Amino acid sequence: MNDAAALSIARRAKPVIDVTVVLTEASFASTSVAPIEIFHSAGTLWNLFHGLSSEPRFRVKVASVDGARVTTLCALGLTPECGIEDIEETDLIILPASGLDVQDRIARTTSLLPWLRKWHDRGTYIAGICTGVAFLAECGLLDGRQATTHWAVADTLKARYPQVLWRPDQFVTEDGHVFCSGGVYASIDLSLFLVDKFCGHEIALKCAKSLLLSMPRSSQAGYAVLPLSLPHADSKIRETEEFLLAHLAEDMATETLAERIGMGARSFIRRFKAATGQAPGAYTQALRIASAKEMLESGKVPVALIAEKVGYADLAFFRRLFKRHTGLTPSDYRERFGRMTFERGALMPGRQAS
């Protein structure tokens, strides 16, 4: 066993885990504040509610690159306790989500990169949130490792960091001592995941219930609202797209679609793919799933009827296809993304952690 591995085991056995939350300019404030509050609450808030002695499980320090106050994306100022070079001991480092100009942020904070590599080499766990994972990729800490990020920037980061095993369908990934989360509010998922990892499931569950939070989600596939096709100016193909939308429940052969606009099948397929980025069959399937998602979100139409409305008579096949596209069954998708209710269920204060 090497020194770093032995050190990481010792850290996990510590009664109090030292965490450093790094503040960066133009970041999402919640991705710094939420982890701070969750780590502060672990072992304390539930105990306070139940008249028990407080048992803090994390000791949090807040640092900026140079020790100066930072201004977040929403013009909220955050003041650190110190600069990153003042940190003498840390078991876990949290990097917040930057804006979409994360590469510009990396260029302006180059001193952060060797500092991250130094602590990683010492066996410290490092977690990046949303676009903040780009700092980890720039350091080379994600090469050959699984990682996630927000679905909207996934393709950009894939192209820039091809050595990373990107999993943008996941909310949280863990590979070695490196953790990533897939969105701004996935900082909550990641923080609870880390409480669970370092302190055990019972403490994480009590922490979540005390703050009225759900335990970590596993997938972000259902949240991705991607355009069905690339922007294009091909009027004939646009006409075909509109026709498919109006006839979702009907099976349309490629030859039939081609004949409608006066083309041969092979030429039509090439032209359709050039315009939309997808073959006609794949496009139709994506269109049907997108329509099914809208119906599941907006009402209580039975799943079997939704399947028929979008062209699938075989309900079992529709369920498998829907899960392959979204990571969720139709019923689970509706439960998560349907019209909101204000029921708290298992998160009510009177319920006991199990």
- Label residue 6 by pLDDT band (50, 70, 90): very low
pLDDT of 133: 93
What is the rounded CA–CA span in Å between residue 62 and residue 14?
Answer: 20
pLDDT of 325: 87
Instruction: Report whether pLDDT(316) > 80.
Output: yes
Over residues 133-183, the pLDDT tens digits come to 999 999 999 999 999 998 888 888 999 999 999 988 888 889 989 999 988
Q: pTM for the complete prediction?
A: 0.65
pLDDT of 351: 43
128: nearest Cα among 69, 194, 83, 71: 194
What is the rounded CA–CA span in Å between residue 48 and residue 26?
Answer: 35
pLDDT of 247: 92
What is the rounded CA–CA span in Å between residue 88 and residue 120?
Answer: 14
Q: Is the dihedral of CA 316, 322, 326, 329 positive or negative?
A: negative
Rounded average pLDDT over 313-331: 92
What is the rounded CA–CA span in Å between residue 221 and residue 286?
Answer: 13
pLDDT of 171: 82
Q: How many residues does the chain have?
A: 354
Over residues 255-302, the pLDDT tens digits come to 999 999 999 999 999 999 998 888 999 999 989 998 898 888 777 889
Rounded average pLDDT over 212-236: 68
User: Using CA atoms in the order 76, 82, 85, 91, what is the torsion angle rounded to 10 degrees?
Assistant: -90
User: Using CA atoms in the order 239, 240, 243, 244, what is the torsion angle rounded to 10 degrees?
Assistant: -150
Instruction: Report whether pLDDT(341) > 90.
Output: no
pLDDT of 222: 59
| DSSP helix, strand, coil percent of the chain (3-state; round to 5) | 50, 15, 40
Q: Answer yes or no: are the C-beta atoms of 302 and 326 closer than 8 Å.
A: no
What is the rounded CA–CA span in Å between residue 249 and residue 144?
Answer: 43
| Alpha-carbon distances, residue 87 vs 93, 127, 153, 299 (angstroms) | 11, 17, 31, 52
Distance of CA 322 to the CA centre of its chain: 20
On the CB side of 165, how many CA atoms lie within 13 Å of its CA? 8
Rounded average pLDDT over 90-115: 85
